[in-house]
Amino acid sequence: MEDLVARRSTLLALVLILLGSFAPIAAAATPPALRIMTFNIRSGTGEDDRLDLARTAD
């Protein structure tokens, strides 16, 4: 019985060590550098009904 308790304690310690070693990797993840631009075509036309990209960029 004591051998089983010792094995469980050792296994638990190994699992905790492994989980702790992956935490810095997850925390160091950087957000993606991709930026998605959207355009509102309906409100982007000027008085001459031409598309003005300076007005449509969000």
24 pLDDT tier (thresholds 50, 70, 90):
low
Give the chain's mean pLDDT: 68
Task: For residue 6, name the pLDDT band (cuts at 50, 70, 90).
Answer: confident
Using only C-alpha atoms, the chain has a radius of gyration, in whole angstroms, of 28
Give CA separation, 36 vs 19, 33, 39, 56, in Å.
34, 10, 10, 14
Closest CA to 54 of 17, 40, 7: 40
Given a cut of 80, whether residue 5 has pLDDT beyond it is: yes
Q: Which residue has the higher pLDDT, 9 or 18?
A: 9
Domain ranges (residues) in the chain: 2-56
Is the model more confident about 11 or about 22? 11
8 A C-beta contact, residue 40 and residue 52: no
